Structure 1
Amino acid sequence: MRVIATAGHVDHGKSTLVRALTGIEPDRWAEEHRRGLTIDLGYAWTTLPSGEQVAFVDVPGHERFIGNMLAGLGPAPAVLLVVAADEGWRPQTTEHLAAVDALGLTRGLVVVTRSDLADPAPALADAAARVGRSSLGGCRAVAVSARTGDGLDELREALDALVTELPAPVVDGRTRLWVDRSFTIRGAGTVVTGTLGEGTISTGDELVLHDASGRERPVTVRGLQSLEQPRDAVAAVARVAVNLRGIAAEEVRRGDLLLTAAAWPTTEQLDVRLAGGVPERLPLHLMVHVGTGAVEARVRPLGGAAVRLTLPQPLPLTAGDRLILRDPGSRRIDGAVVVDADPPPLTRRGAAAVRAQVVARQAGTPSLEQEVERRGAMTVDAALALGAAVLEGERPAANVARHGQWLVSDSAWQLWAGRLREALQHKASRDPLEPTLTLEAARAAADVPDRSLLADLTAYAGLEVRDGRIGTPGHREALPEHVDTALRDLEARLTDQPFAAPEQRELQAFGLGPREVAAAVRAGRLLRLDDDVVLLPTTPARAMRVLAGLPQPFTTSEARVALESTRRTVIPLLEHLDGRGWTRRLDGSHREVRRPR
């Protein structure tokens, strides 16, 4: 099983999307249905086309429930970031993405919902640019309508691809389960639920419950369920319901933990490294969100990005754990990584500065190459914020190349090129009359974070850009056989009568509808003068030879007679010649051929 959390602004369709994917109502409370607003965490699951089971933790989007959102996001290894096409990026989207970035989540999808209410392209482009500057940079984006079902199959395919990229969970060794719900079932007793991130829980296990006061009490696993099915054992990563013996439901709260007995030392002090770099200032107290829990911690800056946190009660944390630090006053969210869960006391002058250096060494701050490889791509500004030296025209690191204001890893470049070629092949098979993609469609298909990268990517992939569209070399000349045959018949007719533009019914008789004519124009086989007039591309030059033989200046009627045509054709043809600078209009009724000087 895989577990994925949702994130995004209130009323952007997170719960509706989960319901459409799973057929399960994630909102559990009557108040949520009455208000049409997710307040608490919701849960649902489905089986993907590959057969992989995936569970969703649906989080509230309203700013008043940010704590509940962080409790749902904290234990999840991947995320669906939801943006509504008709509203676009909103303040809570920014806050939720900051939380995703703070947790260092690199696996996820951007889902633009309500595509039936507005063109999703602007929201897709904007979201890609914003997400590209976060830990989710380079993730795939999909547009859907939960109401009509458009895009849901593509989303399911994207979810299948996403779950294959998730790292293998640690199922052996000690267990740690952050509790997000506790309730009583008649005849069974106390049941707690949560996302099991590491380890395995089996029926009959003797565990300990670590509560918010720091107290630990022994409990026994009486029974297990996952996805509403009884289990003898459940391994990470999974949504699990644990029936406990030895404790009442009212004694268990969100943020408590189920732990392997005697396997998790607890701590009240942590030395952490801020993931976002060195802040201008830090308040004396911050809310620390970890797993499903939240506690207020005392803050002591050590120097640089190193900070010591003092917790009100001990927690079972270890080096490598990711935390979210939130300032309720400013609503600022920062990420932090636990470097030392058992730090030495700071008793001597200068000890904090020395400790900051130790934390920096132990943290193993990633190199620019490692960070770009992790994200796929990042802006030069983001690299500079990490302290990297990025020089114009120089390769910043091995396996990383600079493209304008972006740094891109070689692996991301290869991935994007493959996606772009695949998208073009799919488009050509589905629509041979227009086997090309617009720039935005190409960017979205390749999941490139910014359109400015497309020129280099197109060249790298062996493709070409023409008239604002991307296609394979020579795609303009290649037309389906039936269109080519019809065009040959029309070309023969226009060669004999070059100034007799066919009417729509004649084009239809040749087997050339609007899409076939448009393809022929793009291929350079026909010249479109206006919506109703198409001629051969050589016709303007042939017209000039006739018009140059007339007494100058000449009238429209004289041109019509000389060309043996109609006003329907002659007027747009003369305007075309004016536009090319071959003829010049003198007044309302006279023109002259412009002689070369």
Structure 2
Amino acid sequence: MRGHFVKTNNLSTLTIPSLAKIPISLHAASETLSDGCSKTKAISASGIFLSVPRSRNLVLSETNLSRAAKMSRKGLMEQDLRKLDVTKLHPLSPEVISRQATINIGTIGHVAHGKSTVVKAISGVQTVRFKNELERNITIKLGYANAKIYKCEDDRCPRPMCYKAYGSGKEDSPMCDVPGFENCKMKLLRHVSFVDCPGHDILMATMLNGAAIMDGALLLIAANESCPQPQTSEHLAAVEIMRLQHIIILQNKVDLVQENVAINQHEAIQKFIQGTVADGAPVVPISAQLKYNIDVVCEYIVKKIPIPERNFISPPNMIVIRSFDVNKPGSEVDEIKGGVAGGSILKGVLKVNQYIEVRPGIVVKDENDNIKCTPIYSRIVSLYAEQNELQFAVPGGLIGVGTTMDPTLTRADRLVGQVLGEVGSLPEVYVELEVNFFLLRRLLGVRTKDTERQGKVSKLAKGEILMLNIGSMSTGARVVAVKNVFAKLQLTSPVCTSKGEKIALSRRIDRHWRLIGWGQIQAGITLDVPPCPI
């Protein structure tokens, strides 16, 4: 719950109605009721216990677990927890890549340059899902979609048609559809998760949250507009800050312009990327709407964006970038499902039935205005990668974690920015950070009367308010002290993070948050987190 504080005079004497404002953790021992439904003693932020009905659906017995393991989609590899050996796992292991994406690729670029359309052309999934997004035809929240990329096993099958992308549920060995090679099988090479970022300048914070989990990026540039547009340069600077090195540039909408216009713009793109992290990146002319050259994009994804090194052995650690309440209004009590957290695992392996902790958890202020946080303890009841059910999930693509948490905790992205992982293994929770920072020389993505002269970035001033992006968390911060390239920042919301973590700094300019630089956490003041009560 980012920035949502509940202020009370006496936490130990809270009544049940006031507790409705403080979401509670549904994790504790169950008592069986006469109707077979179970009752859970839930630990609230105040440390008192409440009895809350819990759904039958939340309890996964061994019978249910084996039944879930048998629930397979046609043509996909089975996963079996009993045979799992994390030391032998690899991002391209058949039982992993069959069901879960193992690489994250962001789509970045200016608003209306076709980022969501490209994702739909490759994966078949519409990432613009919300009513206000559809009406305005822009991405507002982070969208995501998974795609499997295949190549025909027959080496005579001509490039680039031998490469083909399907949705996440496609079987592992489909038949090739290139004329003359219909009897050849295709081999699964990559399972990719696309993080579709908003291109609108007001939504820069959302884009930075997405950049935190990217392994590579597709930079979209529309052929029918001049290059660079404001958010094109701002997004490129953002991925440079995140040290993202693998970029493919897509010159979209080539069907709307004459050939000579496309060639001239291609030269402008090459000039624009000189000296940036995208220098030397391939520029692929495409039409996402007509699906022209999408097979070339698939080939470049396979050849130009390597599978990153992953850590499967450490305790699991996942950053939450979306969270949901999947219950429909008016659901029966015994049909209520626990909250769902969506995100990307940074390290380790999450397993069904594993006990987990979410930090910072529930944040409250006491009568002296001191911030206190209570981690949420829960259990994983299901793991999903889109429609594919998993028994275990590895670092890489975006996954949904079904838990026994009270769904009010996860409703409407309330858990975004929090960290989920094994009980007792998560990083510290900070309320003040000491960072060494680097400021951009000039503001990016700001149109001025003289396009050559963009606004200079002024030095950090004591007392000013900045916006920080730490992992998937956006939080305000007051500059307490500045000396040379070091700053002390007081956070408005506590953040679960660790030393050495990268952060992006934004300043409010002309009523918009603008990227002004980046920093690295050196030290800070941490909160005392109460130990696990179970």
TM-score of the pair, normalised by structure 2: 0.60
**Counterpart in the other structure of 1:185:** 326
Give the Cα separation in 2 of the matches to 1:315 and 1:300: 17
Match of 1:167 in 2: 308
Q: CA deviation at 1:182?
A: 1.9
Match of 2:268 in 1: 126
User: 5 Å matches for 1:227-376?
Assistant: 227-251=386-410, 252-263=414-425, 264-276=427-439, 280-283=458-461, 284-300=464-480, 302-329=482-509, 331-342=513-524
Mapped contact 1:102–1:334 kept (Cα < 8 A): no
Match of 1:25 among 126, 150, 168: 126
In the TM superposition, what is the alpha-carbon distance from 1:110 to its structure 2 partner?
Answer: 1.4
- Aligned residue number for residue 149 of structure 1: 291
2:221 to 83, 86, 89: 83
* Compared CA separation, residues 132 and 309, structure 1 to 2 (3 A): farther
**Are 1:110 and 2:249 matched, yes or no?**
yes
2:224 alignment partner AA:
D
Contact 1:182 1:192 in 2 (8 A): yes
CA distance, structure 2, for counterparts of residue 276 and residue 161 of structure 1:
34
More strand by share: 2
Aligned to 1:24, the other structure's residue is in SS state coil
Name the structure 1 match of 2:351: 202
Partner in structure 2 of residue 433 of structure 1:
none
Q: Distance in 2 between matches of 1:191 and 1:245?
A: 9
Q: Is the partner of 2:199 in helix, strand or coil?
A: coil
Q: What aligned pairs does 1:557-576 form with structure 2 within 5 A after superposition?
A: none
- Evaluate the alpha carbon distance shift between residue 335 and residue 199 of structure 1 in structure 2; reply closer, same or farther with a 3 A threshold: farther
Distance 1:260 1:120 in 2: 51
- What secondary structure does 2:236 align onto? helix
Contact preservation (8 Å) 1:254, 1:292: yes
Separation in structure 2 between the aligned mates of residue 301 and residue 250 of structure 1, nearest angstrom: 35
Aligned to 1:13: 114
Contact 2:436 2:521 in 1 (8 A): yes
Q: Which amino acid aligns with 1:243?
A: G
What is the CA-CA distance between 1:4 and the residue it aligns to?
0.9
Instruction: Using structure 1 for the length normalisation, give the TM-score.
Output: 0.54
Worse-matched range after superposition: 294-303 or 89-98:
294-303
Matched, 1:221 2:399: no
**Contact in 2 for aligned 1:192/1:242 (Cα 8 Å):** yes
Out of 266, 269, 281, the residue aligned to residue 139 of structure 1 is: 281
Do 1:212 and 1:256's aligned partners in 2 also have CA atoms closer than 8 Å? no
What SS is found at the alignment partner of 1:101? helix
- Any residues of structure 2 matched to 1:435-450 within 5 Å, and which? none
Q: Distance in 2 between matches of 1:22 and 1:146?
A: 12
CA distance in 2 between counterparts of 1:250 and 1:343 reads: 26
- Any idea what the Cα deviations from partners look like across 1:49-77, whole Å, max 9, x if unmatched? 35210010111111222222222222222
Letter in 2 for 1:133: G
Q: Which residue of 2 aligns with 1:2?
A: 103
1:288 offset after TM fit, Å? Answer: 0.3
Q: What per-residue deviation string (whole Å, max 9, x for no partner) do you get for residues 506-561 of structure 1?
A: xxxxxxxxxxxxxxxxxxxxxxxxxxxxxxxxxxxxxxxxxxxxxxxxxxxxxxxx
* Aligned partner letter, 2:236: L
Does the Cα contact within 8 Å between 1:2 and 1:163 map onto a contact in 2? no
**Cα displacement string for residues 178-214 of structure 1 (whole angstroms, at most 9, x for unaligned residues):** 2222223345331111122222211122111223734
Q: Distance in 1 between matches of 2:517 and 2:498?
A: 16
How far apart, CA to CA, are the structure 1 residues paired with 2:126 and 2:115? 11
| 2:223 aligned with 1:61 | no
Paired-residue identity, %? 25
Post-superposition shift, 1:301?
A: 5.3
* Aligned partner letter, 1:85: A
> Aligned partners of 1:36, 1:312: CA distance in 2, in Å?
33
CA distance in structure 1 between the aligned counterparts of 2:349 and 2:305, rounded to whole angstroms: 20
CA distance in structure 2 between the aligned counterparts of 1:250 and 1:123, rounded to whole angstroms = 48
CA distance in 1, matches of 2:278, 2:408: 37
Residues 322 and 63 of structure 1, relative CA distance in 2, 3 Å threshold: same
Whole-Å Cα distance in 2 between the matches of residues 334 and 48 of structure 1? 37
Match of 1:390 in 2: none
Distance in 2, matches of 1:269 and 1:191, equals: 29
Find the aligned partners of 1:141 and 1:212 in 2 and give their Cα distance: 46
Query: Retained in 2: the 8 A contact 1:274–1:307?
Result: yes
CA displacement, residues 153-178 of structure 1 (integer Å, 9 cap, x when unaligned): 211111112332x4312222133322
